[in-house]
Amino acid sequence: MAYTLPTLGYEYDALSRSISADIMQLHHSKHHQTYVDKLNTALEGKSVPDSLERLLSDLESVPEDVRTAVRNNGGGHYNHSLFWQFMSPSGGGEPTGDLGAAITEKYGSFQAFVDNFSAQAAGLFGSGWVWLQPDLSLAALPNQDSPIMSGGEAPILGLDVWEHAYYLDYRNVRADYIKAWWDVVDWQAVAERYQHAK
């Protein structure tokens, strides 16, 4: 089975108050597409699970000669496929309902959660992701790693802190990108993932 680049569900300029159309186009059509292409090349002729999530959840079953390529490029494809869904032109604000209440209960306030998440994103050395798990714990992981690679559940929110995600807009000031990103987070999508995982 060949993996394909997912559509965004919105135009490249739809998040421009936080992420420019140039970044979105480069990030989606070039970086993400490259992960897809390299994953398909690595898996050509291999017998592996037909689900990307199942594949990444059991990397030990992947033939050793392509395991690193699958981890990096399969992780890149999986992570970015989620990332596009975590953002919306109508995003921003705060979560309500069960998710909002649960975040406040765990962190003391929504702002305390944002501060904690943002600090982990700003402090992650090199390239990687910060993930919010269904139990509302945070995981800061390097490269294209995901919690599912180590037996964890699929995340309900994640932020890409690779430089390719922000450098055209924010240069080397990752903190400015992180601050702006909160304005496009799709809390409805996050809440749906949270409810589904319960």
Binding-site residue positions for Mn(2+): 27, 80, 160, 164
Return the closest-CA partner of residue 39 out of 81, 82, 75, 80.
75
Q: Could you give the C-alpha distances from 75 to 67, 121, 178, in angstroms and in order?
A: 11, 18, 21
Q: List, as one string, the DSSP characters of 17-56.
A: TTS-HHHHHIIIIIIIHHHHHHHHHHHTT----SSHHHHH
Annotation: binding site: 27, 80, 160, 164
